Structure 1
Amino acid sequence: MSWESRAGELTPGAAPPWLTPLVERPEAVKHAYRRRVPAEVLAALTAANATAAVTGARRDAAVLVLFSGPRDGAPGSLPDDADLLVTVRASSLRHHAGQAAFPGGAADPGDQSPVHTALREATEETGIEAGRLAPLATLEKMFIPPSGFHVVPVLAYSPDPGPVAVVDEGETALVARVPVRAFVNPENRIMVYRQQNTRRSAGPAFLLNEMLVWGFTGQVVAAMLEVAGWSKPWDTDNLYELDDAMALLDSQGSYGEAQR
C-alpha cells in the first residue's frame, strides 16, 4: 500500500484566514527552510539522503504541526491566542533525546498515509482527540540524517483541540500548547550551533523557558513564521553553543511567563 496522502483526508477549506498562506503555499516552507541551511550542510544532507536511499536506511515518518486559535483573522495576521502543539522528548530515547519536537514518529506497516501516521502518533504521545482536528496540508518531505527519517510535516488546525498531556513518560517529557507569539517574539530567538568535528553550523532556535526549540523543529517553525508573514526582525548574531543554550533554561521562570 502506498504511503501517500489520500483523497478526502485533507480539508484545506477548514483553515482560518490567518493560516491560508501556509495552506496555499506548503512548498514555500521547505524553500524557506533550505535557504537557512548553510551550503556545506545542505550538501551533506543531500549526500546522506542519497546514501540512505541506496542502503535502505531511510524510513518514512510524519509529524503533526497543529495550530489552534480563532476561526477569523486576516492572512498575514496572528491572533493573540493562537498556539502551536510542541512536545519535549524523553531523555532516555535513542534518537533526539530531550529535544523539543512536533508530536510524530515513524510510520507503522498499517499506516495508510502521512496524515494517518501523524494523527496516530500525536494521539499516542499527547492524548489529543484526532476527531477534533482538521488536517489542512502536507508539507514537502525533509530528511533527518541522525535518525534516517524522511519526515512529512502534516499541517493541521483546530479551534479547540481539547486537553493534552504526557501519555507515556518513557517517550515524552513535556506536552505544551505554546503561544505562537512566543516564537515570534524577537527576545525569545537565538542562533544555536552544535560542534561536530571541525564543522560548526548554526540554525535558528527559540528559548521558551522549559524548552529549547532547535534543529529540525526550530528550522521548520522559523520557515513557517516567514511564509505566514509573522516573522519580526531579530538578532541573528545572538549565538550559543547547544549546551550553553540548554543551560539557559535553568535560569528561566515557569512555563507560560515572559513568553510573548
Structure 2
Amino acid sequence: MPDPFAPLLAALARPGRASSDHDLNPEMALPENRVLRPAGVLVAFEETPQGLRFYLTKRASHLRHHPGQIAFPGGKVDPDDSGPVAAALREAEEEIALPRGNVQVLGTLEPHETVTGFLVTPVIARITAPFTPRPEAGEVDEIFTVPFAHLTRQSFRVEQRRWRGKMRAYYIAPLGPYYIWGATARILRGLTERLTP
C-alpha cells in the first residue's frame, strides 16, 4: 500500500517561498521598520478510512481578535516556547486537546506574514495516535476536519473587501458551511502550490 503521507513529504522536500497577507495587494507599502511577532500554527493530518484529513477550528464569536474565523490551532510564541514549532504544538494541545505525544512533526513551510503583524510558521504534522478533539472553552466554538483532496488549485478563489478604507484582495477556499479565508487560506494555498508544482 502506498504511504498516504508520501505527497506531503514530497511537497516539504520541494523549495517554497514565504507568503504574506499582502501578496495580492502589492500596491500597499509596508513599513521597512515593522516588527513582526513570531507565531506557529499546526497543520495536523490524520489518516482516516476516507483518506487524509487535517484539522481546523472556528474561533469563538466573542473573541476580540478574529472572532468566528476559521483558523489552524496555533498562536504566538510565548517566552517558555523554544520557537514556533513548540508554540504550535502547545496551542494545539490547548485548543483541540491534541496531545503533543500523538504528533510527529514532518516539517515546516516558509513563514507567512499577516496583516496583523505576526510572522506565522506553518508546522506540517502527522497525528500518530487517536485522540478525542475537545474545543478549548471560551476560545474555540468548533473543531472540524478538511479532506486532503480539498488542496487543489481549483479550491481557491480571490475575493475583496474593504479594510481600513481600502479594498484588499485575499484568497478563499470555502468548504460547505465554512468560509476559509485570509491567512488560513493563503497558507493552504502555499501548501497546495508545493503539492502541485
Deviation at 1:160, TM superposition (A): 4.6
Of 33, 49, 52, the match for 2:34: 52
Which residue type is aligned with residue 23 of structure 1? L
Question: Which residue does the alignment assign to 1:180?
Answer: 148
Which residue type is aligned with residue 182 of structure 1? H
Deviation at 1:38, TM superposition (A): 3.2
TM norm structure 2: 0.84
The higher radius of gyration belongs to 1
| Separation in 1, partners of 2:17, 2:191 | 6
1:132-143 equivalences in 2 (<5 Å): 132-143=102-113
Question: Which residue does the alignment assign to 2:86?
Answer: 116
| Separation in 1, partners of 2:185, 2:128 | 24
Of 209, 213, 216, the match for 2:180: 213
Which residue type is aligned with residue 149 of structure 2? R
Question: Which residue does the alignment assign to 1:171?
Answer: 139
Question: Which residue does the alignment assign to 2:47?
Answer: 69
Deviation at 1:90, TM superposition (A): 1.0
3-state SS of paired residue (2:61): coil
Question: Which residue does the alignment assign to 1:244?
Answer: none
- Sort the Cα spacing of 1:185 and 1:113 in 2 relative to 1 into closer, same or farther, 3 A: closer
TM norm structure 1: 0.66
Which residue type is aligned with residue 30 of structure 1? A
- Sort the Cα spacing of 1:143 and 1:128 in 2 relative to 1 into closer, same or farther, 3 A: same
- Preserved CA contact (<8 Å) 1:69 1:160: no
1:95 aligned to 2:102?
no
CA deviation string 1:103-137 (max 9, x = no partner): 00112211112211110000000011221111111
Which residue type is aligned with residue 105 of structure 2? P
Q: Percent identity?
A: 31
3-state SS of paired residue (1:21): helix
- Preserved CA contact (<8 Å) 2:16 2:110: no
Q: Once superposed, which parts of structure 1, at least 4 consecutive aligned residues long, lie more than 6 Å away?
A: none
Identify the range of structure 1 (177-186 vs 137-146) with the bigger mean alpha-carbon deviation.
177-186
- Sort the Cα spacing of 1:201 and 1:161 in 2 relative to 1 into closer, same or farther, 3 A: farther
Question: Which residue does the alignment assign to 1:222?
Answer: 189
- Sort the Cα spacing of 1:197 and 1:132 in 2 relative to 1 into closer, same or farther, 3 A: closer
| Separation in 2, partners of 1:125, 1:218 | 19
- Sort the Cα spacing of 1:167 and 1:196 in 2 relative to 1 into closer, same or farther, 3 A: closer
Which residue type is aligned with residue 16 of structure 2? A
Higher RCO (CA-CA < 8 Å; seq separation 6+): 2
Question: Which residue does the alignment assign to 1:39?
Answer: 26
Of 118, 139, 161, the match for 1:149: 118
Question: Which residue does the alignment assign to 1:254?
Answer: none
Let me know the Cα RMSD of the aligned residues: 2.8
Question: Which residue does the alignment assign to 2:16?
Answer: 28
| Separation in 1, partners of 2:135, 2:74 | 13
1:186-201 equivalences in 2 (<5 Å): 186=154, 189-197=156-164, 199-201=166-168
Deviation at 1:205, TM superposition (A): 0.7
Deviation at 1:36, TM superposition (A): 5.1
1:162 aligned to 2:101?
no
- Preserved CA contact (<8 Å) 1:15 1:157: no
Higher helix share: 1
- Sort the Cα spacing of 1:189 and 1:139 in 2 relative to 1 into closer, same or farther, 3 A: closer
Deviation at 1:198, TM superposition (A): 5.2
